[in-house]
Chain A
């Protein structure tokens, strides 16, 4: 089952992108507008650099990502 881990922006440099589904540091999605947090996801065993951090299921991370901290308020008009 795919797992999701929120990390600090300052920890991005420690991410081994060969062990997560995200492509690179440049394609990460950050909280908005603060840009202080991001997240990565992985399948299978937990990468060493994510050990000890809270892991979320898909439904859990979607609940978090639906909050204003992650969606921001400067949408294109709706």
Chain B
């Protein structure tokens, strides 16, 4: 008997591929994070950010899952709130100008969720668990200029304070706004899948391909932006499944 596995548009799993997801990183909400550096390859005009997150606490009104420094307040923040909503912040157009908002829908953030944020030059869209959650019109350019604090991408913390507490997995960064069908396929009914065919600029697998040891998280995208575990985050074997 032959077994035929389902496939998704845009996802060409190579023959013999051995994709597996065995690790995430655990951040404790105090000061630990993944430092992904400040390479200009992350300063993309159109954008998709995708990741999996499972909260273990929401100490602050806005808790930072990731931050890209730049602008005045930072260029890009992805946060979650005590109300169970994801929240985004993107600096646009000029120093200090920005758009920020909660996503529309509240979730039980102590469960694993896939969250994605896209910008295509006309709209910012947020997706949770493969479905579009909000869309807002925006046509300005993302403002990447540094305010003197650099342009680093930190996963697990904000520019100032209020870091995330929980598990973070499969963070990817793209130089284009992926389609709704691509996002749905990435969600894959709640199980991370191989996204290499979507050509991410960066794809931090959070321990997979690094053996779940050490302090380096290898970037599996084209950007070569290897991350460094900073201030004691740990690898976890709890992953979306």
Contact = CB atoms under 8 A, between A and B. Distances in A.
A22 B61 CA distance: 25
B30 interface: yes
Contacts of B60: 66, 71
Interface string B74-101: 1001000000000101000000001010
B159 interface: yes
Q: Determine chain B's interface SS by DSSP, over half rule.
A: loop
Contacts, number: 73
B161 A29 contact: yes
A76 B232 contact: no
Interface residues of B, number: 27
A72 B160 contact: yes
Given A65-B59, A71-B162, A29 B89 contact: no
Contact of B232 (A21, A70, A75): A21
A75 to B, nearest CB: 7
A61 interface: yes
B59 A66 contact: yes
Contacts of B98: 76-77
A23 interface: yes
Q: What class of interface size applies to chain A in its complex with B?
A: 20 to 34
Q: Determine chain A's interface SS by DSSP, over half rule.
A: loop
Contacts of B74: 76
Which of B28, B30, B89 is the most central at the interface, judged by chain A CB atoms within 10 Å of its CB? B30
B211 interface: no
A39 B57 CA distance: 20
Contacts of A71: 60, 160-162
Contacts of A4: 30
Contacts of A23: 228, 230-232
Contacts of A10: none
A72 B28 contact: no
Contacts of B87: 78
A27 interface: yes
B138 to A, nearest CB: 15
A11 interface: no
Please provide the 4 A-B residue pairs with the shortest distance between their CB atoms, ordered closest to farther.
Answer: A21-B232, A76-B73, A29-B31, A71-B161
Interface of B: 28-32, 57, 59-62, 73-74, 77, 87, 89, 98, 100, 158-162, 165, 228, 230-232
Given A29-B161, A58-B30, 8 more contacts: A27-B31, A27-B230, A29-B30, A39-B31, A61-B30, A62-B59, A71-B161, A76-B77
